[in-house]
Structure 1
Amino acid sequence: MAFREAGLPLDMIPPHVKPCGPIVLDVVPAEAQDGELAMWLKKASTMLVNLGSGVQYDEQMARAMADALVPVLQSTNAQALWKLSKIGEYSDDLLRPLENYVKSGRLRLETWLNVDPVLLLRTGKETAPVWHANALSEGFMASLTGEEARA
């Protein structure tokens, strides 16, 4: 979760302070955390839709994301993994345009990810993250390899 206090603007960075990007640990491989999901990711290029652990979708937000996923899935052979945690009571009818993609296995809807997102992005084929881009930007970290990630 993001905290307003962590984003204070600094006009000057003291010389003894060394800024560092998100601290993301590769502790356990994705295959060990959720082998079935890791295998699914290897089937096709994947779009990971994860707006963070604190984000819950109300009906309007869920409908907007569902409407955004439809043309991507229609125009590509990609698959999508959408972390959809709902807030409030509303019908799943808004997901009806995605029903065939869920049935065919090209779209997975999960309320929680059992694998660290950065590790998901480093498994299988090419992945494209859709995320909130805060200080814990797993999408950015997953794009780094080797020495870049350890710098």
Structure 2
Amino acid sequence: MHPSYGSCELTWFRIYRCASLLPYPVPFYLRPAAWYIQKQYMKLVKDQWVIGHAMNMQEKINKPYSDWGRVSYDPPKGLKIILPSNSHNDFPFSVVPDHIVSCGPIVRVAKPVEETDPDLAAWLKRRPTVFINLGSHVIHDKNATSELSAAVHSLLDEARKAKQEIQVLWKMNKSAGGQEEGQKSAVSSAMNGHADNDRIRIVDWLETEPISILRSENVICSVNHGGANSYFEAVRYVTLRPTCPPA
């Protein structure tokens, strides 16, 4: 362990041990949960990645703690923290320290969709597009897939009634454990005729980067899971950006 890391460890633990959201005094029936959370916190304090991160930060800024939260109000002299957000799309903080600079949204550079997937680029140009992309790790079961499919069905129906030309691109991750047929049947049942329509394209993988799709200027709504990249990319290029965080 780093010779001066002891105080860093204790400070880190003091900051985070109150984040369980359990009521206090802790009711008897929640004491097992409190015990479990305490054990997990102790594991984090001894985690080699956490220790390495703390040591690296301590060496860089000459402060005996590993918490980025504390750097926000007790920074070393001359430190500037660049945030990938901006005041218009972040929480409405009443006080922002001078050393914190919001200059976002900061997004990655990627090749245009015309270069990486010409077929998709041509399809996107047909109509204004709603892009549903809930990240790489969200896998819906049959029920959740059915609910989202029904929402897409309703959207397309309402657009047709209003005589609005829209289409939907939905990146739906394959279900694990051989549940793919259940996913497909849920989509087919809920979509009720729309599934084979050229106004909806459902894929389990994108050959192009999601940001390239957003930059195509054909996406009018980005439905995402609220991950940092998805959020900032949508903020940068799309007006409507509803969030569906995973349960």
Counterpart of 2:202 in structure 1 is 109
Counterpart of 1:148 in structure 2 is none
**2:172 maps to 1:84:** yes
Counterpart of 1:66 in structure 2 is 149
1:99 to partner: Cα distance: 5.3
Question: Aligned partners of 2:225 and 2:145: how far apart in 1?
Answer: 15
Aligned residues of 1:129 and 1:139 also touching (Cα < 8 A): yes
Identity %: 27
Which deviates more from structure 2 when the two are superposed, residues 37-46 or residues 129-138?
Answer: 129-138
Aligned residues of 2:135 and 2:227 also touching (Cα < 8 A): no
**What amino acid does structure 1 have at the position aligned with 2:216?**
T
Aligned residues of 1:41 and 1:125 also touching (Cα < 8 A): yes
- Give deviations 1:71-97, integer Å, cap 9, x for gaps: 101111310011111323142221123
**From 66, 69, 73, the counterpart of 1:10:** 69
1:9 to partner: Cα distance: 7.3
Note closer, same or farther for the CA distance 1:67–1:104 as it changes in structure 2 (3 Å cut): closer
Aligned counterparts, 1:36-47, within 5 A: 36-47=119-130
Question: Aligned partners of 1:126 and 1:36: how far apart in 2?
Answer: 16
Counterpart of 2:110 in structure 1 is 27
Aligned residues of 2:133 and 2:170 also touching (Cα < 8 A): yes
Counterpart of 1:149 in structure 2 is none
**What amino acid does structure 1 have at the position aligned with 2:174?**
K
Which deviates more from structure 2 when the two are superposed, residues 90-99 or residues 77-86?
Answer: 90-99
Report the 3-state secondary structure (helix = DSSP H, G, I; strand = E; otherwise coil) of the residue aligned with 2:155: helix
1:103 to partner: Cα distance: 2.1
TM-score (norm 2): 0.50
Counterpart of 2:237 in structure 1 is 142
**2:157 maps to 1:98:** no
Question: Aligned residues, how many?
Answer: 138
TM-score (norm 1): 0.78
